[in-house]
């Protein structure tokens, strides 16, 4: 088991993926970061509280921080957010020839099958329903962390 953990640490550190968390609930965002770190992630995390902030960052608009070319990003995206909802954020990302490479994982309380299907049609990579129960939510994020240790994320300029 120790060898597996060392290998996992090696994988996580080797990948320079910046994890963007688009979540208007600060408690959920903190829980996601905390449990991904517990899963061994030492990546950089960026937290945005609404969809417009995410779009401004990715499309390099406005005064705020902007993405950097040549970096790999992964987006954990809530659906129900202020200003611009997660589905519209997903749509704009997937419609852009450069940004469409960003893996988008929907992490949301919405479990409506129509919403799940719509997100997959628009282009989400994975759809995770946030359990209402705290322990189940922690477990879901832990499993997400395990999943992310084996995923390769392309850099935004198309390099791998």
For the segment 117-136, what is each residue's pLDDT rounded down to a tens digit? Answer: 999 999 999 898 887 777 88
Strand partners, 21: 47, 76
Asked whether residue 159 carries a pLDDT value surpassing 70, the answer given is: no
Asked whether residue 12 carries a pLDDT value surpassing 70, the answer given is: no
Hey, what are 39's tokens?
């899963």
- Looking at residue 14, what is its pLDDT? 40
Show the domains of the chain with their CATH numbers. Answer: 2-148 (3.40.50.2300)
CA dist 27 and 23 (Å) reads: 9
- Looking at residue 129, what is its pLDDT? 85
Burial 39-56 (b: 16+ CB within 10 A, else e): bbbebeebbbbbbbbbbb
CA dist 23 and 31 (Å) reads: 11
Q: What is the mean pLDDT of residues 65-83?
A: 92
User: Which is more confidently placed, 92 or 31?
Assistant: 92
CA dist 74 and 71 (Å) reads: 10
DSSP 3-state assignment of 2? helix
DSSP 3-state assignment of 127? strand
> For residue 14, what are the contacts with CB-CB under 8 A and spacing of at least 6?
none
Which of 119, 153, 113, 111 is CA-nearest to residue 136?
Answer: 111
Q: Where residue 97 falls among pLDDT bands split at 50, 70, 90?
A: very high
Contact 124, 75 (CB under 8 A): no
Q: What is the mean pLDDT of residues 28-44?
A: 85
Q: What is the mean pLDDT of residues 44-66?
A: 94
Q: What is the mean pLDDT of residues 135-148?
A: 77
- Ramachandran region of residue 60, left (φ > 0), alpha (ψ -120 to 50) or beta? left
Look at the block and give the residue holding tokens 């020839």.
97
pTM exceeds cut of 0.85: no
CA dist 77 and 87 (Å) reads: 9
Percentage above 70 pLDDT, the chain: 86
Q: What is the mean pLDDT of residues 29-43?
A: 85
Asked whether residue 21 carries a pLDDT value surpassing 90, the answer given is: yes
- Looking at residue 19, what is its pLDDT? 92
Strand partners, 104: 75
């Amino acid at each position: 088991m120790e060898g597996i953990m060392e290998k996992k640490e090696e994988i996580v550190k080797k990948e320079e993926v910046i994890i963007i968390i688009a979540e208007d609930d600060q408690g959920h965002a903190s829980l996601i970061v905390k449990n991904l770190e517990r899963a061994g992630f030492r990546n950089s995390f960026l937290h945005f509280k609404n969809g417009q902030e995410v779009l401004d960052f990715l499309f390099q608009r406005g005064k705020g921080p902007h993405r950097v070319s040549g970096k790999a990003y992964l987006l954990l995206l809530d659906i129900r957010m202020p200003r611009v909802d997660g589905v519209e954020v997903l749509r704009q990302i997937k419609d852009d020839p450069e940004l469409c490479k960003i893996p988008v994982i929907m992490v949301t309380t919405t479990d409506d099958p129509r919403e799940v299907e719509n997100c997959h049609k628009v282009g989400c990579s994975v759809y995770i329903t946030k359990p209402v129960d705290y322990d189940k939510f922690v477990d879901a994020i832990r499993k997400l962390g395990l999943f992310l240790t084996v995923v390769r994320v392309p850099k935004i300029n198309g390099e791998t």
